[in-house]
Amino acid sequence: MSDTAETASHVDVGTERVARVYAEALLSEAWDSHQGQETLEDFDALVKYVLDPAPELEQYLSSEIVSRENKQAVLERALAGRCPDLLMKFLLVLNNHNRLGLIRPILAEYRDLYDQRQNRVRVRVRSAVPLTEGEMNRIKDEARAALGKEPVVEASVDPELIGGLVVRVADWQYDGSVQGRLEAIRSNIIEKGSHEIQSGRDRFSSGG
């Protein structure tokens, strides 16, 4: 691994750890005030309906050369009457610690922590065509039985899949698509060919 790759890896891990600390603090306060789910929805809406349509705003808030005072003024102006008090207070805390650039990682960590408290697990499904209600229910039933948790299925359509579906839970992935099976076959052929080449080299070096 190159020095650059190692540095990037350490930065990613460090960012994740810091984001988790802030997410835990937000969830603790939201949980105590019985606003865990509501805060998750508000936080998600902030990213989806405020930051996604305005990347320049997100870049401004993440900038290290913009003062905290100016960022606070923009936050209050942009979110006045649109952001609940708990989330607004949290954003101002992030601003005071120059952490507004971590909004998305913190949201991801908050969602993960909230799911853990609710004994839920995210199941992400990609399919070549939209799944029917029956197929969705079957995936939920199988995930529930296998994982012992309540699955939250997030489905998306990927026309590039030849057929079937790809299911991901955290770092585990089941690829039931035709494309996945073709790639698995290809990998097996390559592996078999490499083994035969190595066997030939061993026989040659031994004089067999």
Report the CATH number that the domain containing residue 61 is assigned in CATH: 1.10.520.20
Domain boundary among 69, 97, 115: 115
Q: Which two tokens stand for residue 163?
A: 């057929």
Looking up residue 178, the CATH number of its domain turns out to be 3.30.1330
What's the pLDDT at 43?
Answer: 97
Both 106 and 140 in one domain: the answer is: no
- What's the pTM? 0.70
Both 55 and 155 in one domain: the answer is: no
Low-confidence residues in the chain, pLDDT < 50: 1-11, 197
What's the pLDDT at 3?
Answer: 43
Domain boundary among 100, 115, 130: 115
Both 7 and 104 in one domain: the answer is: yes
Q: Write the CA distances from 4 to 1, 18, 34, 101, 121, integer angstroms.
A: 8, 21, 44, 22, 34
Both 100 and 125 in one domain: the answer is: no
Both 26 and 86 in one domain: the answer is: yes
Residue among 92, 119, 108, 117 at smallest CA distance from 17: 108
What's the pLDDT at 200?
Answer: 55
What's the pLDDT at 6?
Answer: 38
Both 33 and 64 in one domain: the answer is: yes
Domain boundary among 87, 115, 143: 115
Both 94 and 152 in one domain: the answer is: no
Both 76 and 12 in one domain: the answer is: yes
Q: 9-39: per-residue pLDDT in tens?
A: 344 778 889 999 999 999 999 999 999 999 9
Residues in contact with 129: Cβ distance below 8 Å, sequence separation at least 6, in sequence order: 157
Residue 108 CB-half CA count within 13 A: 10
What's the pLDDT at 11?
Answer: 45
Both 74 and 144 in one domain: the answer is: no
Structurally, the chain folds into a number of domains equal to 2
Full residue range of the structural domain in which residue 125 is found: 120-208
Q: Write the CA distances from 154 to 41, 66, 121, 134, 136, integer angstroms.
A: 15, 37, 11, 15, 10
